[in-house]
Amino acid sequence: MSEELERAKAAKREHPVAKVMGWLVTAVCLLWLGWMARALAPQKPAGGAPSLAAMMGGAGGPPPVEVQTVEEAEMNPPHAYIGRVEPIQDVELRAQIGGYVEQVHFKDGARVKAGDLLFTIDAEQYEARVAVRKAEIGQAEAALDRAERYLQRLERSDARAITQADLDTARSDVAQGRAAVKQAVANLALAEIDLKHTRIIAPIDGRVGRTVANVGDYVSPSLGALVRIVQVDPIRIAFSVTDKDYLKAIEKFGTERVQDALRIRYRLPTGTVSDGVGTRDFEDNTMSADTATLSVRARFPNAHGLLVPDGYVTILVDLANTTKSPVIPQEAMQTDREGHFVYVVDEAGIAQRRAVTTGAIVEGRVAVTAGLKTGERVVVQGVQKVIPGQPVTLASSKEADRK
Which DSSP letter does residue 349 get?
Answer: S
Closest CA to 340 of 375, 369, 309, 319: 369
Mean pLDDT of 307-318: 93
- The stretch 377-403 carries a mean pLDDT of 78
Residue 209 predicted with pLDDT over 90: yes
On the question of pLDDT at 55 being above 50, the answer is no
* Alpha carbon distance 118, 100 (integer Å): 14
Average pLDDT over residues 200-225: 95
Confidence of residue 324 (pLDDT cuts 50, 70, 90): confident
Question: Which residues 6+ apart lie within 8 Å of 229 measured at CB?
Answer: 90, 91, 92, 93, 112, 202, 203, 204, 206, 207, 208, 209
pLDDT at 57 over 50: no
Picking from 38-47, 231-240, 271-280, which range would have the lowest pLDDT averaged per residue?
38-47
What value does the mean pLDDT take over residues 52-75? 71
| pLDDT on residue 33 | 60
Percent of the residues in the chain that have a pLDDT greater than 90, as a whole number = 51
Average confidence (pLDDT) over 232-256:
88
Supply the pLDDT for residue 54.
Answer: 43
Q: Report the percentage of the chain scoring pLDDT > 70.
A: 82
Q: What residues are paired with 267 via a beta bridge? A: 273, 314
pLDDT score at 283 = 87
User: How high is the pLDDT of residue 38?
Assistant: 54
Q: What is the mean pLDDT of residues 39-64?
A: 51
| Average pLDDT for 95-113 | 95
Asked if pLDDT for residue 13 goes beyond 60, the answer is no
The DSSP secondary-structure symbol of 330 reads G
Per-residue pLDDT band for 53 (boundaries 50, 70, 90) equals very low
What is the predicted pLDDT for the residue at 400?
44
Average confidence (pLDDT) over 18-40: 56
What pLDDT is stored for residue 132 in this prediction? 96
Give per-residue pLDDT as tens, 147-167.
Answer: 999 999 888 887 777 888 888
Task: Name which residue leads in pLDDT, 218 or 367.
Answer: 218
**Would the pLDDT of 56 be above 50?**
no
Segment 235-241 mean pLDDT: 95
Mean pLDDT on 6-11: 51
pLDDT score for 391: 92
Q: How far apart are CA 232 and CA 255, in angstroms?
A: 29
Instruction: For residue 209, count CB atoms less than 10 angstroms from its CB and return exposed for 0-12, middle for 13-18, buried for 19 or more.
Output: middle
* Stretch among 31-35, 112-116, 286-290 having the lowest mean pLDDT: 31-35
The alpha helices in 107-239, defined as continuous H runs, are 124-156, 164-196
Tell me: pLDDT of 14 over 80.
Answer: no
Please tell me the distance from the alpha carbon of residue 90 to that of residue 112, in angstroms, as a whole number: 13
93-215-96-194 Cα dihedral, nearest 10 degrees: 130
Region 67-88 average pLDDT: 88
Mean pLDDT of 321-343: 86
- For residues 383 and 67, give the distance between their C-alpha atoms in angstroms, rounded to a whole number: 10
More confident residue, 332 or 400: 332
